[in-house]
Amino acid sequence: MDADNKIKPFPRMAPVLTGLAAGLSLQAGVALAQSAAPGAVIILDEIEVRADTTARRFEVTPGAATLIDRSEAQGQAAPTLADTLSQVPGVVVQEFFGGNDQPRIQIRGSGLQQNPAERGLLVLQDGMPVNRADGSYVVGLAAPGQAESIEVFRGASANRIGANVLGGAINFASPSGASAPGTRLSFGGGSFGRGEVAGSYGIDTENADVLLRFEHTQKDGYRDYNSSRRTAIGGNVTLQTGEAVTRLFLSHTDLEFDVAGPLTWDAIQNNPESNHSGPVIVGGVPVGPGPNVWRDQPRRDTRQTLAGARTTLERGADIYDLGVSLSHTKDTFAFPISAGFRDTDSTDATVTARYSRMGEGDLPLFETGLTWSFGEADRDYFHNLGGERGPAFGRNRLKADTLSIFAGANLPVGGFTLSPSIAFNHANRESEDRWGAATRPTVAYHPMFPDMRLPDGAVPAGSTSYDRSYSGFTPALALSWAPAEGQFAWVSLSRGFEPPTHDDLLGTVGGTPNSGPGRPNPADPTVPAAMFATPDLKAQTSTTLELGWRGTWQPLSWDATAYHSRLNNELLSLRDVTGATLASVNAGRTLHTGVELGLSGELTETLSGRLAWTWQDFRFDNDPVRGDNRIAGAPRNVISLALDWRPVERLTISGKLHWVPGETPVDNMNTVFNESYALVDLGAEYALTPNASVHVQVTNLTDERYAASTLVVDQASAGQAAFIPGEGRAFYLGTRLRF
């Protein structure tokens, strides 16, 4: 386990994990600079009292969230999302591409059915969305190692920042020249060709500060076809202009990775470093259905540039916050032949405006805000022929805009606080089919000889144009109180509303492991078949009851949240037994129930411990086909236990247990399951000087062979390639320097 996420005593101890940062005392500038916290402002200089006030606002907000302080980051130079978020209860991070940093992040079942996850969370950088205007995102664009703090808002606690999604929001807040002055460098390397370097340079003056930062990480990967590379550069400038403080920021991320693909369970146990080579025909029957990774060479190449500005103005009890951002994203996803190449070139913009009126308490007495995202994308489709672009078969102009208007209050009523709120959400999704031709070409390989091309075919084009609109209100009511000193409890009832993305509304269908979309029988190029699906989906809605209790008592700190959500029209992205995509659908009624528990404490003067436990039960509710089955892909229990031992001042030795007990269904029919697993990590950090340290780590100490995640399908088969292997035993050595 690494020690990236440093927690400071508040007020008497060092709780490493609590909801809404209960017990966190931040360094100045952290979570103030580009935070999404209630009443947060931008500051230029370090004011400890203001930082404590912001931490207190997190602590007493009636909703589930977590604040991670990385201002004094230790450990890896470029930590992965799994490393950074593993100690956050309620956040389930599953490796998806064989151990690289493109995981499936799932909060309360958000985007659970997608492979990979591209919906269900609002991802923010410096308070402005990384998501495209339709709500979709590329999780690998996030660089947690470049963040000074990470804010995780789960469920309805994210409504106030425009998160029209079930899971909530994650905000990666960058450091500033004031909070990270001077030069900071970190280097690291390890098993499977891992290498990384990161650095920043900050300048702090009386009326302005400047920060420049960069990060580069690359890896050959645990598996045979499994390389990845990511480069992120950026910076920000903070200016004092009268009573207002403005922060300008710019970042560019270049991400490339191989999609190593799933394996059969037999391969997981006997050859987890391998890649699947497609089904084998035995007696006329395909055995081991799944993609032919070696032939199709699936991969993703994404580049995003994000620029923006945020201005805060504080006049007495009134706080004004205005923001604008513009992003340009070029995303090439080479799926296996069943879906082909998907090239997307998009430009998106977001405008935010917030007003807070502070009262006598820590939270705003009244708060209102607006978030409006709008964008346009050109999307082109090509067949995948041996990992190269083949004939084009589709072209669309996609437009989207999403508007959220929020108003809420925190009203003292006796010894309680009543927090009513309401948001109005409106979304438009428009697709213009720009193909033009009467037919679309189809391609295929021979199932018996998967490298042998079959004659091309053609199917009627059919229109993929649509124009959909979605509107809904999301009211919420919370009641909170302090049952004892240092403790905080709440109960809330909220509505949720999540419109579909373009990836839900427009998708390729009719492919197989040996043929492209529109050709369900590789051997017959003449049979008319659909190549695209444009389902008329409804928005996903939910009603959630939530109870929470957080606090400290002597050496113990805790954060506990329980919730029960009743969903209508849950958005499900389905795949068939071969792993090929099917059309997205609305489920009927579904139920999401869970418990999110974080515990931390000082066991002795030199030993501290932390526990994060997520229990979740997601299932259909009297579905005509699936009955009350569990929804596929969601482990019922995820447990993370960490210990830190400091025998001397300069040395910290850490250990971590990551345990997923019980079976996890691969398919919604609950016929195939992923097995339980437990991983042990060990690490040590030694401070050579106050400005230099070294870090060593071994992960998966016992070299466990396991499936970190799976494809999520509607109906699976026992021999299907549906399991994503986790990384084997790995070693890491790194250093951090300050000048």
Is residue 276 included in any domain, yes or no? yes
pLDDT at site 302? 93
Residue 100 reports pLDDT greater than 70:
no
Is residue 5 included in any domain, yes or no? no
In angstroms, rounded to a whole number, what is the distance separating the alpha carbons of residues 404 and 354? 12
- Token pair 């302090």 is found at 482
Report whether the peptide linkage leading into residue 79 is cis, meaning its omega lies within 30 degrees of zero.
no
Q: Which of 68-72, 97-101, 393-397, 644-648 has the lowest mean pLDDT?
A: 97-101
pLDDT at site 94? 84
Count of structural domains, the chain: 1
Is residue 416 included in any domain, yes or no? yes
267-280 mean pLDDT:
94
Is residue 42 included in any domain, yes or no? no
- Containing 56, the helix (H) or strand (E) segment is helix 48-59
Is residue 399 included in any domain, yes or no? yes
Could you tell me the two tokens for 237?
A: 């400038």
458-462 mean pLDDT:
95
240-247 mean pLDDT:
88
In angstroms, rounded to a whole number, what is the distance separating the alpha carbons of residues 34 and 30? 8
- Containing 366, the helix (H) or strand (E) segment is strand 364-385
Other beta carbons less than 10 A from residue 678's beta carbon = 13
Q: Which of 80-89, 228-237, 379-388, 450-459 has the lowest mean pLDDT?
A: 80-89
pLDDT digits (tens, 9 = 90+) for 276-329: 999 998 888 888 899 999 999 999 999 999 999 999 999 989 999 999 999 999
pLDDT at site 40? 63
Q: Which of 32-36, 370-374, 448-452, 494-498 has the lowest mean pLDDT?
A: 32-36
Cα Rg of the chain, angstroms: 25
**Is-contact 238 291, C-beta < 8 A?**
no
In angstroms, rounded to a whole number, what is the distance separating the alpha carbons of residues 516 and 503? 18
617-645 mean pLDDT:
94
Kindly indicate the confidence band of residue 635, based on its pLDDT and cuts at 50, 70 and 90: very high
Kindly indicate the confidence band of residue 19, based on its pLDDT and cuts at 50, 70 and 90: very low
Beta pairing, strands 556-568 & 318-334: unpaired
In angstroms, rounded to a whole number, what is the distance separating the alpha carbons of residues 626 and 585? 14
Other beta carbons less than 10 A from residue 205's beta carbon = 12
pLDDT at site 44? 52
Assign 31 to helix, strand or coil: coil
pLDDT digits (tens, 9 = 90+) for 602-615: 999 999 999 999 99
Residue 1 reports pLDDT greater than 50:
no
Distances (CA, A) of 518 to 340, 466, 511, 537: 11, 20, 6, 21
Is residue 38 included in any domain, yes or no? no
In angstroms, rounded to a whole number, what is the distance separating the alpha carbons of residues 48 and 282? 70
Is residue 581 included in any domain, yes or no? yes
**Is-contact 228 257, C-beta < 8 A?**
yes
Give the angle 256-218-296 at the CA atoms, nearest 5°. 40
Kindly indicate the confidence band of residue 5, based on its pLDDT and cuts at 50, 70 and 90: very low
Assign 157 to helix, strand or coil: helix
- Token pair 């930062």 is found at 213
Is residue 21 included in any domain, yes or no? no
pLDDT at site 143? 81
Give the end-to-end CA distance of the chain in Å, rounded to a whole number.
27
Other beta carbons less than 10 A from residue 311's beta carbon = 17
Q: For the domain that residue 226 is a member of, what is the CATH number? A: 2.40.170.20
pLDDT digits (tens, 9 = 90+) for 46-60: 434 344 566 777 788
Could you tell me the two tokens for 663?
A: 């079976």
pLDDT at site 250? 94
Kindly indicate the confidence band of residue 115, based on its pLDDT and cuts at 50, 70 and 90: low
**Is-contact 384 390, C-beta < 8 A?**
yes
Could you tell me the two tokens for 599?
A: 């515990």
Domain extent at residue 578:
48-738
Residue 333 reports pLDDT greater than 90:
yes
Q: Which amino acid is at 324?
A: V
Kindly indicate the confidence band of residue 34, based on its pLDDT and cuts at 50, 70 and 90: low
Q: What is the DSSP code string of 303-330? A: EEEEEEEEEEEEETTEEEEEEEEEEEEE
Instruction: Tell me which DSSP letter residue 606 carries.
Output: S
Residue 16 reports pLDDT greater than 70:
no
The alpha carbon of residue 599 and the mean position of all alpha carbons in its chain are separated, in whole angstroms, by 23
For the chain, give the percent of residues with pLDDT over 90: 67
Kindly indicate the confidence band of residue 501, based on its pLDDT and cuts at 50, 70 and 90: very high
Residue 720 reports pLDDT greater than 60:
yes
Nearest to 732 by CA among 682, 678, 677: 682
Look over the chain and give the mean of its residue pLDDT values, rounded to a whole number.
88
Kindly indicate the confidence band of residue 336, based on its pLDDT and cuts at 50, 70 and 90: very high
Residue 117 reports pLDDT greater than 70:
no
Residue 70 reports pLDDT greater than 80:
no
> What is the 3-class SS of 217-228, one letter each residue?
EEECCCCCCCCE
